[in-house]
């Protein structure tokens, strides 16, 4: 994990600012209005927070920062470029940031987001616990606050398991009844002229196996195998 150094990393910061400026929704969810110009953002990174990053040929893809709070707390933020979200490398970077950089130094820290409920389960899986919502404090928008302690971080596996159980229960109670009630296709005999006709139920997922036709000319089960008889 790299620690931002204004003397050597200013070009990376400029590239990050350009990329975020091209995606206003992303920028507005990440920083308040007063930080959405390059000079203010650079000053904030140099003087207010400790800024960490990972980069590749396209620039910064992982950014994280810590703002000290009181004597043994902090506010933290994390941003991951869209093409890296959900990747194994992104998870490794998050784990390194929380476990090696933040938690050894603070007893409790908070994270803030405008993206509720979209990011709610993700925060819980990372080891956060939900605190409360604060209406109107982020450029007029509501912010949702989460906190993390070493204990809540250590218990995240149990939370992840509970969320999996909840997802399965939701699937059973909503999706499966709909699937069970879905109208089954009506079996229709296929006429083959002078041949014999036999009804057949669908097998597997192939629509072409919906019927089997046995004729005096040729027999076939899957229509994809059919070729016109030119004899």
Q: Is the pLDDT of residue 203 over 50?
A: no
Q: CA 154, CA 150: separation in Å to the nearest integer?
A: 6
- Kindly report the average pLDDT of the chain as a whole number: 83
Q: Is the pLDDT of residue 225 over 50?
A: no
Q: CA 117, CA 140: separation in Å to the nearest integer?
A: 18
Chain-centroid distance, C-alpha 168: 18
Q: CA 76, CA 50: separation in Å to the nearest integer?
A: 10
Domain boundaries, the chain: 2-171, 196-225
When mean pLDDT is compared over 6-15, 181-190, 201-210, the highest value belongs to: 6-15
pLDDT, mean of residues 28-56: 97
pLDDT, mean of residues 34-63: 97
3.30.499.10, 3.40.50.620, 3.40.630.30, 3.40.50.970: which CATH number matches 2-171?
3.40.630.30
Residue-level pLDDT at 186: 55
Angle CA 22–27–30, to nearest 5 = 155
Residue-level pLDDT at 170: 84
Interacting residues of 42 by C-beta distance below 8 A, sequence separation 6+: 6, 10, 13
Residue-level pLDDT at 51: 98
For the stretch 98-127, pLDDT in tens is: 999 999 999 999 999 999 999 999 999 999
Residue-level pLDDT at 188: 55
- HSE of 101 in the Cβ direction (CA atoms, 13 Å)? 23
Percent of all residues in the chain with a pLDDT value above 70, rounded to a whole number: 75
Instruction: Give kind and range of the element (H or E) at residue 34.
Output: none
Chain-centroid distance, C-alpha 114: 15
- Extract the tokens encoding 163: 């969320």
pTM of the model: 0.73
Chain-centroid distance, C-alpha 39: 31
């Amino acid at each position: 994990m790299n620690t931002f150094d204004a003397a050597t990393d200013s070009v990376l910061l400029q590239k990050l600012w350009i990329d975020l400026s091209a995606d206003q929704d992303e920028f507005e969810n990440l920083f308040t209005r007063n930080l959405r110009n390059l000079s203010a953002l650079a000053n904030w990174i140099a003087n207010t927070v400790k800024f960490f990053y990972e980069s590749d040929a396209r620039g910064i893809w992982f950014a994280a920062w810590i703002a000290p709070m009181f004597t043994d707390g902090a506010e933290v933020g994390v941003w991951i470029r869209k093409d890296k979200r959900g990747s194994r490398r992104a998870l490794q970077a998050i784990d390194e940031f929380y476990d090696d950089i933040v938690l050894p130094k603070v007893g409790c820290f908070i994270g803030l987001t405008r993206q509720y409920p979209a990011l709610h389960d993700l925060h819980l899986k990372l080891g956060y616990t939900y605190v409360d919502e604060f209406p109107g404090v982020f450029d007029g928008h509501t912010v949702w606050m989460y906190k993390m302690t070493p204990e809540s971080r250590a218990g995240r596996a149990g939370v992840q398991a509970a969320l999996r159980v909840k997802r399965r229960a939701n699937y059973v109670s909503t999706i499966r009844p709909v699937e069970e009630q879905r109208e089954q296709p009506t079996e229709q005999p296929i006429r083959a002229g002078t041949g014999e006709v036999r009804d057949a139920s669908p097998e597997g997922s192939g629509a072409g196996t919906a019927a089997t036709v046995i004729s005096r000319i040729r027999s076939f089960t899957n229509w994809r195998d059919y070729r016109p008889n030119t004899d």
